[in-house]
Structure 1
Amino acid sequence: MALPNKITLFFWKITLVGYVIAYPDKYEFQDIDTNMKFNLLDILNDYTESEKDHRRDSTDDPYENWTGRWMPSRPGEPTPPPKVVSNKGKDEESHHDSRVPMGVKSPDCDDGKTNLTVDWDHSVTSYTCYGQKINPDTEISPELYCDTIPKKYEAIHKCMYESIEYKDDIPTYGSHRPIWPTYGEYTYVPKQRWIHNLEHGAVVMLYHPCANSLEVERLKGVVKGCLRRHIITPYDLDETKPLALVTWGCRLTMSHVNKELVIDFIKEHALHAPENRVYKDGDFDDQLIKKSDIVSDEEDSIICFKQM
C-alpha cells in the first residue's frame, strides 16, 4: 500500500473512532440510495482485518508465507523428545506374539543342531571327574521334593537365540527348547533340553561325574528296566547326594541307590505330565551314546514290569 493511502486510511480511522466516541447512540446510519443501515464499528473492523490480511499476503518473511508442513518443526520451536524404539529383534518379538510350535525343526528357531552353545559350551568339564570319587553314604537319607505347579501352567518353548535360566539347581519344570532329545543315554544333555522330556512324562537320571561307578550303574539298570522314556546324563549335583531322578514336578536326590525306593518313585511320578501322550523320540541327539530300548511297549503302558 502506498504511503499517501496509508496516511489517508489512518486519519479516516481516527475520524470514525472519534465519531463513535462522541455519539455512541448514533454510530449507525442509513444510506439514502440503498435504504440500508450501516454500523460504523463494523466498517472499522472490516477495514482493520482487511489491512491485516494485506500485510500477511505482502510480507517478505519466508516463514510467514510458508503454508506447507514444517519438517521436523518450525524454526524456533522446542525440539520434541526422541522416539523410543524397541531394541528387540523381529524374531524375538514374533516369539512373544505367538507360541513356538513343539517339535518343528527350524534353523531360525531350533533344529537341534544350530546355536547349541547357547545352552552348553561342550566343555569336557561337564562330564569329567577331576576330583576324588564320591563314596556312597548310607547315613544320608534320600530326599524327595515336589513343586506345586499350577494346573493351568503352560511351559514356553524358547528359540535358540535366547537363553533360559532356572531358579532351582535341579529344575522340575519350566521353559525349554522346542526340540526334545531322543530317549537314551548321553555323554551330556543340557537341562534346557531334557525338561521338555519331563513334560512328556519321562524320567531323567542325573549323576555327578565323580559319583561311585557301581551306584551309577545300579541306578542306570533300574531306570532302563522301568521305561523307554528316559534320559541319562551327567550333571553338576551336590556331592552329598550325587545321584538324582527327575520327573515333571518332582525330584529324588540320593547318596546311594535304594532299589525299592527308586522303583516306587518312578511308578508314582513317571508319565504324570501335561503332554504324556507324546511318546515319540525327539530330533535332538547331540552326544547320544545309546538310544533307549522298548520295555513294555513304545508307549510305556506298564511301568517297571521287568523290575517286579
Structure 2
Amino acid sequence: MVENLSLGHLIYLLIVISVVKAGDDDWHGGWFPYAPDVGTDPNPVFTIRKNMYDPKHGVVMGVKDPHCDDAKTNLEIDWDYNPVNHSCFIFNRRQFFESRSDIHPVHSQDYIPKSYSAPHKCMSESINYNVIVPTFGTHRPLWAKYGEYKFLPRQRWVHNLEHGAVVMLYHPCADKNEVNFLRKLVKKCLYRHVITPYNLLSAQRPLALVTWGHRLEMSKVAPKIVVDFIRKHALKGPEHTARDGQYDLMLEEHSEVVSDLKDQELCKGLL
C-alpha cells in the first residue's frame, strides 16, 4: 500500500508521524500545509501572524496592525473616496427624494444562527455583500468610532452591528428634514450609534436603521416605530462590548453618552 503513495503523501505522513512522536513543541521541521501558529489563511500574499490569529474570527479584533488593519493602510479597498457616496447626484444631476406618508416603514429580518461567527478580513482582501443593506457578515477587524460620518464604508459599520450598535443610513438625496428628525432620535436614544450617508438606499425608502439581523427602511420618520425598533433590537449583537472603535476617517461628530457608556436605558424619556 505504501508503495502506491505519491511523494507528497509520504512527506505528509512523515511529518504527522514525527509530530505524534515528538509533540508540537519539539518539532523543528516543516509543516504541511502551514504551521499551526500562523492561522489558516492559505493566501501566500498575507499570512496571519501568531499574535493576530483568532480561532473564532480568523483575525483578532481591535488590534492595530499595519500588515492587517490599522485603520489607515489600504483604505481605498473599501472606498475609493468618490464623493458620489455622500453627495446627491442621480445620473449626474441632483434629484431630491420627497418623503411620503403613504409609503409605510418596512421591517425585515435576517436569520443568523447562534453558532455563526462573522469572519474578519485584513485590508489585503476585499469584502462584498450580496444584499443592499447587510445586517451581518464578514467585516474589518477594527470597527468604527461611534458617531456621525461624512461617509463610512459598510465593511466597518457591520462590525459595529456585531457589538450591538444602531446604524442610521440615509440616501444623500433624502429629505433633509426627515434626515435631521431621524438623526435627533437616534442621538437621543443611545451612545452606540453610527450615522452615515448610503447611496444604495432606494428613492422610495431612503432612510434606514440597521441592527444585528434587523433593518428598518422608511420614507418618512415614524417616531414611535423608530423608538420601538431601537429599544427592541439595539444591543443584541453577539459581542457585548461598549468599547469605542479605532477607525475615524471622516468622523464629523463623536457620539455623546446618553444614559451611560453601556446604554443601559435606551431612548430615555422618549415616547
Give the TM interval when normalised to the shorter protein.
0.7 to 0.9
Residue 261 of structure 2 aligns with which residue? 298
Once the two structures are superposed, what CA deviation does each residue of 1:172-211 show, in whole Å capped at 9, x if it has no partner? 0001000001000000000000000000000000000000
Question: Equivalent residue of 1:231, what SS?
Answer: strand
Larger Rg: 1
Question: Equivalent residue of 1:306, what SS?
Answer: coil
Q: Aligned ranges for residues 106-185 of structure 1 at < 5 Å?
A: 106-130=65-89, 131-185=94-148
State the shift of 1:88 in Å: 3.1
Q: Aligned partners of 1:178 and 1:96: how far apart in 2?
A: 11
Residue 237 of structure 2 aligns with which residue? 273
Q: Which amino acid aligns with 2:64?
A: K
Question: Equivalent residue of 2:178, what SS?
Answer: helix
Q: Aligned partners of 1:87 and 1:229: how far apart in 2?
A: 36
Instruction: Name the structure with the higher helix share.
Output: 1
User: What's the TM-score, normalizing by structure 1?
Assistant: 0.70
Q: Are positions 1:223 and 2:182 aligned together? A: no
5+ residue gaps, structure 2: 1-40
Q: Aligned partners of 2:85 and 2:263: how far apart in 1?
A: 30
Q: Contact 1:129–1:209 (CA<8 Å) still a contact in 2?
A: yes
Counting matched residue pairs gives 222
State the shift of 1:90 in Å: 4.7
State the shift of 1:93 in Å: 6.8
Q: Contact 1:116–1:160 (CA<8 Å) still a contact in 2?
A: yes
Q: Contact 1:225–1:306 (CA<8 Å) still a contact in 2?
A: no
Question: Equivalent residue of 1:178, what SS?
Answer: coil
Quote the RMSD (CA, aligned, Å). Answer: 1.7
5+ residue gaps, structure 1: 1-85
Q: Contact 2:53–2:60 (CA<8 Å) still a contact in 1?
A: no
Once the two structures are superposed, what CA deviation does each residue of 1:139-158 show, in whole Å capped at 9, x if it has no partner? 11111000010110000111
State the shift of 1:255 in Å: 0.4
Q: Aligned partners of 1:87 and 1:139: how far apart in 2?
A: 52
User: What's the TM-score, normalizing by structure 2?
Assistant: 0.79
Same amino acid, percent of matched pairs:
50
Q: Are positions 1:239 and 2:194 aligned together? A: no
